[in-house]
Structure 1
Amino acid sequence: MKQPTDHSTAKIVRGYPHLSSVKTSIKLLHQRLPQQKLSMYAASLPPADIFIHPSADIVIEVQQLAGRIAHYLGLPIGRILVNFSSSLPCPAQVELSSADDYLVRLHERYRFDSQDIPALLAHEIVHIFLYRLKIAFPNVLENEILTDTAATYLGVGWPCLNAFRISVQDSLDFGYVGPRTIRHFSASKVGYLTPEEFAYVLAKRSLLFNERIDRLLTLQARELYRQGLRIARREGARPPFARSLIWWRWLYLGRRWWTKRSPQTGKRSQFADYRFEWVDGEMKVTFDCPVCCQKLRLPTERRQIHLDCPTCQHSCSCRT
């Protein structure tokens, strides 16, 4: 599949514009991959396995790297062909088939700058992984977001966050008032997710497997990861979860009281982390599982409810 166009000179989108699709992708992975299968990816692909020796033949090194990624994912490996092409309209492409042979094409410029090759190969080979499992969305963009999310969530996509770089270059400008230094900023990335979204998925993964993933990241990526970790942890510390902070709990109670004043069938009050709705004359609260993002629904005004998520079996206590 195609990678997006090169972002080294284009304006890079920041923030969380695809967060809804990311959460849907995480939910789909948990629905289609049993817990035993997911546990196979508890340890991320180590840095030694993505290292490309600068003095070795780049084609052989890249083919071996593709083989290590495929082996990590548990794909049957036949013949792996990776070539470089200057006519490629995008950074990378993969040929999807049910055979055990893989054909990956990279743009010619990566022959001389291999820094982002691990991120590109992770995305392309995960395309094969999802294709074989018939895990896909009908929309092309959502399918690419699914691929980025799966690569990061399954432990081979952390180089995608490292691929985000902000470079600073100073130059001298000689004007009427004398020389002055002008600072130029440039940024580059790969993938369809924003840097913040890559960090969020990586944080969700680290919480699931209790993995210290920050040791694999660059300094720039590490700060983004910490931001994503705060957001991911907050999802399990908001009402109606029992361990929510007191001021969030009071806000939840106020919203519940406000919604209860209009007990109309079909009445719904949507908030950032949950929504209240009337179902068959009873008010219920709907919220996301903090692990797999599956929608959960419970009756309100219960002091303590123990809940096991039907998708990921995550256990939690709720006060609705």
Structure 2
Amino acid sequence: MRAIQEFLYRIRIDSIFELLAYIGFFYFLFKRFILHRAPVPSSAFKSVPKELLAECVTLLKKKEKAEYGVYRVPEEILSILRADLRNEENLKRLLCSICAHLGIDGGFIKLVVEDTFMSDRAGEIATDLAFTTIRLELKPHYTPEAVIAVLAHEAIHLHLYYAGIRMRDTWENEILTDTAAVYCGFGEYIYAGYAVMRGEFAFSYQKVGYIRQEDVQYIWKIMQKEEGE
């Protein structure tokens, strides 16, 4: 007991913080290099019920009036995107290409590229039919696939708005939007773009989107099953 009291007397608060930092560092190394997992707790991302994903696919199959093939970013746009992710002229061309796949004229959409400090959003759309603005939060850690996925998500919002397809509440509507992005041919970019990315700070990880990669796989599975029926 006396030894414990002497230890507590000698230890300082900065020593405690230093010890915790070492514990966190070794935990990171263990998960990253031993378990080969990104040290991101699963609780950080809200789980999407499979029943909701299935409901979204059923709704889209019932309401969508057109069939969409697999979308491919034009090679010229993709090359510039990989070389200079912040080229706003190229980002607008990318948005127009995505919209064209959906039968929408993207030329009338105003694209605003931002990097708002501590923003928790990846993109945002505002429209009243006459005027439409899409805001893209372009973070330093974003990959080209993440940018494509975010712009596809926002364009799908507009597509669903025009088609009058929506779910009951805001969160379910976002799940519907991500599901529709997969349904309308953007699945490969949603899958790649919604992967967990290294964040801006040491040992930090981030992701965009409302669904996870396993959800994209499940949506594909449902679509393949319904196509076979």
Q: Is the 8 A contact 1:166 1:188 kept in 2?
A: yes
Q: Which residue is 2:110 aligned to? A: 81
Q: Which of residues 54, 58, 62 is equivalent to 1:27?
A: 58
CA deviations on 1:6-57 (whole Å, 9 max, x unpaired) are: xx986345796421111111111111124xx12xx1x211143661512486
Task: Give the deviation of 1:60 after TM superposition.
Answer: 0.6
The answer to whether structure 1 residue 72 and structure 2 residue 101 are counterparts is: yes
State how far apart, in whole Å, the 1-side matches of 2:122 and 2:108 are: 22
Which one-letter code corresponds to 1:81 in the other structure? Answer: K
Q: Provide closer, same or farther for how the CA distance between residues 204 and 110 of structure 1 changes in structure 2, counting only shifts above 3 A.
A: farther
Q: Which residue is 1:136 aligned to? A: 166
Which one-letter code corresponds to 1:195 in the other structure? Answer: Q
Task: Give the deviation of 1:159 after TM superposition.
Answer: 1.1
Q: Is the 8 A contact 1:22 1:145 kept in 2?
A: yes
Per chain length, whose mean CA-contact separation is higher, i.e. which structure has more relative contact order (CA < 8 Å, sep 6+)? Answer: 2
Which one-letter code corresponds to 2:53 in the other structure? Answer: V
Q: Is the 8 A contact 1:148 1:157 kept in 2?
A: no
Q: Provide closer, same or farther for how the CA distance between residues 12 and 158 of structure 1 changes in structure 2, counting only shifts above 3 A.
A: farther
Q: Is the 8 A contact 1:153 1:204 kept in 2?
A: no
Q: Which of residues 47, 50, 59 is equivalent to 2:88?
A: 59
Q: Which residue is 1:126 aligned to? A: 156
TM-score (norm 2): 0.67
Q: Which residue is 1:306 aligned to? A: none
Higher strand proportion (structure 1 or 2): 1
State how far apart, in whole Å, the 2-side matches of 1:204 and 1:90 are: 28
Q: Which residue is 2:70 aligned to? A: 44
Q: Provide closer, same or farther for how the CA distance between residues 162 and 21 of structure 1 changes in structure 2, counting only shifts above 3 A.
A: same
Task: Give the deviation of 1:160 after TM superposition.
Answer: 1.7
Q: Provide closer, same or farther for how the CA distance between residues 9 and 63 of structure 1 changes in structure 2, counting only shifts above 3 A.
A: farther
Question: Of the two, which has the highest radius of gyration?
Answer: 1
Which one-letter code corresponds to 1:60 in the other structure? Answer: E
CA deviations on 1:88-110 (whole Å, 9 max, x unpaired) are: 541111113213x5311112425
Higher helix proportion (structure 1 or 2): 2
Q: Is the 8 A contact 1:96 1:131 kept in 2?
A: no
Which one-letter code corresponds to 1:67 in the other structure? Answer: C
Which one-letter code corresponds to 2:94 in the other structure? Answer: L
Q: Which residue is 1:202 aligned to? A: 220
Which one-letter code corresponds to 1:71 in the other structure? Answer: A
Q: Provide closer, same or farther for how the CA distance between residues 167 and 79 of structure 1 changes in structure 2, counting only shifts above 3 A.
A: closer
Alignment length (residue pairs): 183
Q: Which residue is 1:178 aligned to? A: none
State the identity as a percent: 23
State how far apart, in whole Å, the 1-side matches of 2:140 and 2:132 are: 19
Task: Give the deviation of 1:58 after TM superposition.
Answer: 1.1
State how far apart, in whole Å, the 1-side matches of 2:40 and 2:184 are: 29
Please report the RMSD computed on the Cα atoms of aligned residues, expressed in angstroms: 3.2
State how far apart, in whole Å, the 2-side matches of 1:46 and 1:60 are: 19
Q: Provide closer, same or farther for how the CA distance between residues 76 and 106 of structure 1 changes in structure 2, counting only shifts above 3 A.
A: closer
Q: What are the equivalent positions in structure 2 for 1:299-314 lying under 5 Å apart?
A: none
State how far apart, in whole Å, the 1-side matches of 2:214 and 2:142 are: 28
Unpaired runs of at least 5, structure 2:
1-37
Unpaired runs of at least 5, structure 1:
1-7, 169-183, 208-289, 293-313, 316-320
Which one-letter code corresponds to 2:214 in the other structure? Answer: E
Q: What are the equivalent positions in structure 2 for 1:147-226 lying under 5 Å apart?
A: 147-165=177-195, 188-205=206-223, 207=224
State how far apart, in whole Å, the 1-side matches of 2:166 and 2:204 are: 34
Q: Is the 8 A contact 1:81 1:102 kept in 2?
A: yes
Q: Provide closer, same or farther for how the CA distance between residues 167 and 83 of structure 1 changes in structure 2, counting only shifts above 3 A.
A: closer
State how far apart, in whole Å, the 2-side matches of 1:190 and 1:9 are: 16
State how far apart, in whole Å, the 1-side matches of 2:141 and 2:90 are: 11
Task: Give the deviation of 1:145 after TM superposition.
Answer: 0.4
